[in-house]
Structure formats: C-alpha cells, structure tokens
Amino acid sequence: MSWPWRYRSLASALREVSGSEVYVVSLTPFDWMLGFFRGFGQLVFEIARTVDKALLESSSEKVVLVGHSAGGIACRVYIGGDPPFGGRRYSGHRRVSHLITLGCPHVVADRPVLSQITRINELFPGALHKDNGISYLSVAGGAADGAASSRIRRKYERVISDGRVAGDGVIPIPAALLPGSETLVLKDLYHHPRLGKWYGSDRKTVELWWPEELHVGESLVDKPGA
C-alpha cells in the first residue's frame, strides 16, 4: 500500500551494498486496493514485467526479489509452482535466485479477510523452491511490543489471534517468519519510516539483513554495459 517513491532510500542502499542495479515495481495504493476486489493477478504481472526488464537490461539470468509487507506475498505467487493461481500458472522460480521478505504477513489467522493469503499458503507453502536452489530469507522487526500497548496489540490481531507479542508495529514477528526459510529478527526496526527506523532506512540498516554472499563483488543484476 505504498507509493514507489517511498522505496528510493531502500533502492539506493541496495545499489551501494550489492553493486547491482535495483528496480522498483511500479505499484501504487490504488493497484493494491483494486487487487483486494479484483484479485492480485495484475500485481503479480507487474512483478513479472519488472523482472523481465531487469534481466533484459543486464547480463544476469536470475534476480533477487525483495518483498516488503504484502509485496512479499505477491513475490511468492510470482515464484509460483505447479498449481495455477487466479486462472494462471506462474513460474518465476526459473528466474529467481533469492527471495527476501521484510515484515511480510506470511503466517496468518484463518479469517475471511485474510483468505487470499491462506489460499496462497495452501498453493505455495513455505520455502517451496528451497530444494531447487532458491534461497529464502524472512526478516522481522521487533521494535513494538503488543503486550505493552493495546493499540499495537489490536494491529497485530488483524493478522494473528493473540497480539501480545513483539513485531514491527504492523506485522508481528510470528506472522513474518516464513516456514522453511532462514529467519532474522531485528529488534529495533519498525514496519515503515513513519513509525521510525525501518528495514530500508539507510545502508547500515540494509547491511543488517542483506546476505553476505550478495555484497559488492557478487553482482547478480548488472547495469547495462557493465
């Protein structure tokens, strides 16, 4: 539900840390709202289009996907598998080397409002393509304690049953850790910059979760002509 320009600082930090070009998927809050009513097919298509552009403009064969919040769910659909979703079969796993999710609601309560995520978990469970070479990392922030704040607890209970846990102020830690993935909890991070220090605040913060093997010198998506 964020505007693409809000990810400029994160994209800039990733370019510095990775030595690679970074592409931001052009999704707006309007696209997400339409997705809730019409399905998320168009959101996944935009991810696919951006991946195609990244690979076309580089010498790489695969990309690293970084999905923030619900963007991580859409990335999991794009990576796909055998079952179709929304009448279409996705096979992005052939073009992805890593999936990194930041404050993503992977594990949620069984409620009608969360049925899309529940369905995705049934079709594409956990780190589905881990054995096929995709590296999965799910990162959770823990700066806001639902046990100490009724307001935060209510936010967490939008996605899980008991919100008396730590989280990033929007997504509780238990929801953000994808089963089967590597996991990382950063206790001082919030979900987005309006709350405080978040996953993409600056290079130093990004270096806390960006995989060591993907630092400069292991560029996966090179700039054109590089």
pLDDT tens-digit profile of 168-195? 999 999 999 999 999 999 999 999 999 9
Q: What is the pLDDT of residue 217?
A: 62
Q: What is the pLDDT of residue 143?
A: 98
Domain coordinates in residue numbering, the chain: 4-210
196 CB contacts (<8 Å, ≥6 apart)? 143, 169, 190
Tell me the pLDDT band of 224, cut-offs 50, 70 and 90.
very low
Burial class of residue 133 (count of CB atoms within 10 Å of its CB; 0-12, 13-18, 19+): exposed
Q: What is the mean pLDDT of residues 216-224?
A: 51
CA gap 44, 169 in Å, rounded: 26
Please check the confidence at residue 218 and state whether its pLDDT lies above 70.
no
CA gap 69, 171 in Å, rounded: 8
**How many CA within 13 A on the CB side of residue 41?**
9
Percent of the chain with pLDDT over 90: 77
Q: Pick the closest to residue 166 from 180, 138, 193, 185 (CA basis).
A: 185
Pairing assessment for the beta strands 96-102 and 135-141 based on DSSP bridges: parallel
Under CATH, what is the fold of the domain 4-210?
A: Rossmann fold (3.40.50)
Q: What is the mean pLDDT of residues 61-86?
A: 93
Q: What is the pLDDT of residue 223?
A: 43
